[in-house]
Amino acid sequence: RKKKRSLHEATARKGRKTKNTSAKRNKKNTPHIDGIYLGDKVKVFGQVGFVTGFTGKMVYVQNIHGQYIQN
**pTM of the predicted structure, to 2 decimals:** 0.59
Q: Is residue 16 part of a domain?
A: no
Q: Is residue 18 part of a domain?
A: no
The pLDDT of 56-61, averaged and rounded, is 88
Q: Is residue 37 part of a domain?
A: yes
Question: Residue 37: which residues within 8 A CB-CB, separation 6 or more?
Answer: 31, 51
How many domains is the chain built from? 1
Q: Is residue 38 part of a domain?
A: yes
Q: Report the percentage of the chain scoring pLDDT > 90.
A: 41
Q: Is residue 41 part of a domain?
A: yes
Q: Is residue 21 part of a domain?
A: no
Boundaries of domain holding 43? 30-70
Q: Is residue 43 part of a domain?
A: yes
Which backbone phi and psi does 29 adopt, to 5 degrees?
-145, 145
Q: How far is CA 15 from the centre of its chain?
A: 20
Assess whether pLDDT exceeds 80 at residue 43.
Answer: yes
Closest CA to 10 of 20, 25, 22: 25
